[in-house]
Amino acid sequence: MNHEDYKEMLPLDALGALDETAAQEELRAHISACPECRAELGEMHEVAAMLAHTVAPVKPSAHLRARIIEHIKTADAADGDSPASNVLESRQTDEDAGNVVASRPTDEESDGDSNVVSFEKARDSRRHIMLSRAAFTSGAIAASLIIVALASALFVVWTNKKRTEGELASLSGRVSRTEEELARERQMLARERETTELLSAPDARMTALAGTESAPAAHATIAYDRRTGRALLLASGLPPAPAGKAYQLWFIAGGRPLPGRVFTTDNAGRATLRDQAPPEGLDTKIFAVTLEPAQGTREPTGAKYLVGNVS
Amino acid sequence: MSPEREATDKIDVEHLHAIARGDEKAFASLYDTYNSILLGLLLRILNSRVEAEDVLQEVFLQVWQRASTFDEARGRPFTWLVTLTRSRAIDRLRSSNARERTALAAALDAPESTSDDDASDEVVRSEQSELVHRALDAIPEEQRRTLLLAYFEGLTQTEIAERLKQPLGTVKTRMRAGMIKLRELLGKRRGGSARMNL
């Protein structure tokens, strides 16, 4: 392939639409060697990113900001690779150094107190040496050396202890994050398996639900396995439920509506709901969605938003 | 480029440099500026609020860790953020149960054009969004469709060809032509009426 061939791939690369092939690796190599293609790819990325402006902005939940900021602080403590953690480490070193110079581990634990005493003594004796060196006997020198050695040893023990505590905290932070991730992955896998089982079940049927007068733009699809009663509803175009209200799914069997679960939509009016038809509702003929009090009801009371007949 | 956009870019660049030095305030400002547009994008791709907010968190953690790799000589901060966000979203889409929707949509051969309709129903739009919508409206429908399928559904050229039942070569040509036309339209606006942009 030549320069022109690679250049033709750039718009598709910026859209992430190239297939995973060996050609992609060659393209990467070419881009890193070709300033013209690099500039072109940069422009194509700018164009692609502008597509984000076609989507309506959506405000995240209020707690997310605090959670993210909390996380970057934990990330600092736990992740040794981040530049920010380097800052923290150097801060720690400064503090240690300060302790050595000023000998003031004032508000530290009890072994810190002995540190102060020893350092004061060491400093006093050093001043003494300066003032009247001649007066010093070899015994006094030996004694002060021992004090200095003890002080240093204590200091080393104290720093090691601090460091180990820090490492322990960062490790346990990392473990709990990994556990969280694992739990999330497991949950996701379980849901995916559930969906695959449902979609591949021999008795599974797809039913389309159309929006009523209350929501003409709404539509939904239900995958329903009449043998097990498992249902997966995917709805879109629903208006946001007013405060205190939520949508509720109904399984209508033998002319009787049986309550399903309640749900709300995201800001784009979409919702995904997994549900289980009650045993007497396995032979559902009609699915419906109504607007109800947020906790749900036993009998439908609100307006119908979506309806679909099982074909 | 408009003076307003240049000014915004400059502030963003300063924020990213400060974040690279571990400045939490700059990080919070960047979050406040872009959280809504990025969450909108994530929702559009993932169709799930929970997933979208989860990925938004991942994205900002990455911003915190990788701000030092941002190089303003290579592009705008906005592009860097959006590219990072979209790529995390597509990773999540390919690995998570958000795939359910795609599987179902394909199973039912559901119409794919809802996105455009949703967007055009929006009452309040930023000028930037107005600009991109107008540019998109000006390119042929079949080109626009391929771009949106790739960008928002995360489909590759081959997958798009299968979905649209068109030859691969045709799809590639349409995407390329669409992108080049879009660049021209966005570029022209930039030079022509600077006041249109923010």
pLDDT digits (tens, 9 = 90+) for A234-246: 999 999 888 889 9
ipTM over 0.90? The verdict is no
Q: Considering only CB atoms, which chain A residues are within 8 Å of B184?
A: none
Of residues A81 and A149, which shows the higher confidence score? A149
CA distances from A10 to A162, B43, B85, B178 (A): 52, 26, 20, 13
To the nearest 10°, report the CA torsion of A185, A190, A192, A195.
-160
pLDDT-above-90 percentage for chain B: 58
Block residue for tokens 């993210």: A68
The shortest CB-CB distance from A55 to any of B21, B119, B150 is to B119
Alpha-carbon distance of B118 to B112, in angstroms, equals 11
Q: Considering only CB atoms, which chain B residues are within 8 Å of A272?
A: 47-48, 100-101
User: Tens digits of per-residue pLDDT, A121-133?
Assistant: 444 555 554 555 5
pLDDT computed for residue B111 by the predictor: 40
- What chain A residue is nearest to B123 in terms of C-alpha separation? A56
Of residues A58 and B128, which shows the higher confidence score? A58
A19 min Cα distance to partner chain B (Å): 6
Range A75-81, long-range pairs (CB < 8 A, 24+ positions): A75/B61, A75/B64, A75/B65, A76/B22, A77/A166, A77/A169, A77/A170, A77/A173, A78/A170, A78/A173, A78/A174, A78/A177, A79/B65, A80/A170, A81/B65
Does residue A272 carry a pLDDT above 50? Answer: yes
> Going by C-beta distance under 8 Å and a sequence separation of 6 or more, which residues neighbour residue A81?
B65
A64 at B interface, C-beta within 8 A: yes
Residue type, B69: T
Contact A82 B35 (CB under 8 A): no
Contact A267 B49 (CB under 8 A): yes
Between CA B144 and CA B149, with CA B148 as vertex, the angle to 5 degrees is 115
Residue type, A235: A
User: Tens digits of per-residue pLDDT, A286-301?
Assistant: 999 999 998 888 899 9
User: Tens digits of per-residue pLDDT, A78-122?
Assistant: 554 444 333 333 333 333 333 323 333 333 333 433 333 344 444
The shortest CB-CB distance from B79 to any of A49, A68, A191 is to A49
Radius of gyration of chain A (CA): 34
Q: With CA atoms as reference, report the closest residue to A118 among A93, A92, A143.
A: A143
Q: Which residues pair with A209 in a beta bridge?
A: A220
Q: With CA atoms as reference, report the closest residue to A51 among B152, B21, B154.
A: B152
**Cβ within 8 Å of B, A 250-289:** 266-268, 270, 272
Block residue for tokens 């993932």: B46
Model pTM? 0.52
Classify residue B89 by burial, with Cβ atoms within 10 Å: 0-12, 13-18, 19+. Answer: buried
User: Tens digits of per-residue pLDDT, B22-80?
Assistant: 999 999 999 999 999 999 999 999 888 888 999 999 999 999 999 999 998 889 999 99
The average pLDDT across B171-176 equals 96
A183 at B interface, C-beta within 8 A: no
Alpha-carbon distance of A12 to A45, in angstroms, equals 10
Q: Considering only CB atoms, which chain B residues are within 8 Å of A220?
A: none
A170 min Cα distance to partner chain B (Å): 16
Of residues A192 and A16, which shows the higher confidence score? A16
Contact A57 B114 (CB under 8 A): no
Whether the CB-CB separation of A272 and B47 falls below 8 Å is answered with: yes
Please state at what angle helix A62-78 crosses helix B24-46, rounded to 10 degrees: 120
pLDDT-above-90 percentage for chain A: 32
> Mean of the per-residue pLDDT values for chain A?
79
The average pLDDT across B155-166 equals 92
Alpha-carbon distance of B136 to A260, in angstroms, equals 42
Interface with chain B: mutation pick from A32, A50, A54, highest number of B CBs within 10 Å: A54
- What chain A residue is nearest to B67 in terms of C-alpha separation? A83
Model confidence at B106, pLDDT cuts 50, 70, 90, reads low
Q: With CA atoms as reference, report the closest residue to A15 among B72, B156, B58, B194.
A: B156
> Mean of the per-residue pLDDT values for chain B?
81
Radius of gyration of chain B (CA): 18
Please state at what angle helix B49-66 crosses helix B77-95, rounded to 10 degrees: 130
Please state at what angle helix B168-192 crosses helix A35-50, rounded to 10 degrees: 80
pLDDT computed for residue A140 by the predictor: 79
Task: For residue B121, give both structure tokens.
Answer: 């129903």
